[in-house]
Amino acid sequence: MGRFLRGPIYDSGCFHHLPPHRRLSYLAFLDRALAPGGHFALTCFAAGAMGSELPDADFYRQSRLHGGLAYTPESLRWIFSDLTEVEVRRMRDEPPESPCFGEPFLWSALFRRDGQP
C-alpha cells in the first residue's frame, strides 16, 4: 500500500473552513492518501442551514470566510467528482442526552475511491 492510508479518511468540520483555493490541495491530499476501494467521510455545513453561501469570488473581495462555507449536495458531488458517491444526506437532529451526534445544519457524506484495495 505504501503511500495510501488503509483505513477510511474522515473530515468532521475542516473542509467548510477552507478558502476555495485550498480545495485543490485538499483534493490532492485525498488523491495521495485514499487507497483504491477506500472511503472518505465528510461532515460539513449545509446550505440553507449554516454557513455562508456567497460565491467564491466574493470571499476574496471581502477577505473572510464568514464562519465557514455552506455546500449543497450538488456542489459536494461536483467537488468530489473523482470519487463515487455512496450517500449524501442531512444529519438527524439528536437530543443532548443521545449517545450519538447529530445536527440538522450539517451534511453527512460518504464517498468511495474506485478500484481494488
- The domain segmentation of the chain, as residue ranges, is 9-112
- Homologous superfamily (CATH) of 9-112 is Vaccinia Virus protein VP39 (3.40.50.150)
Confidence of residue 1 (pLDDT cuts 50, 70, 90): very low
Over the stretch 39-69, which tens digit does the pLDDT of each residue have? 999 999 999 999 888 887 887 777 767 788 9
Residue (of 43, 32, 44, 46) closest to 82 by Cα position: 32
53 or 18, higher pLDDT = 18
Output the pLDDT for position 2: 52
Contact between 42 and 25 under an 8 Å Cβ cutoff? The reply is no
Amino acid 10: pLDDT: 94
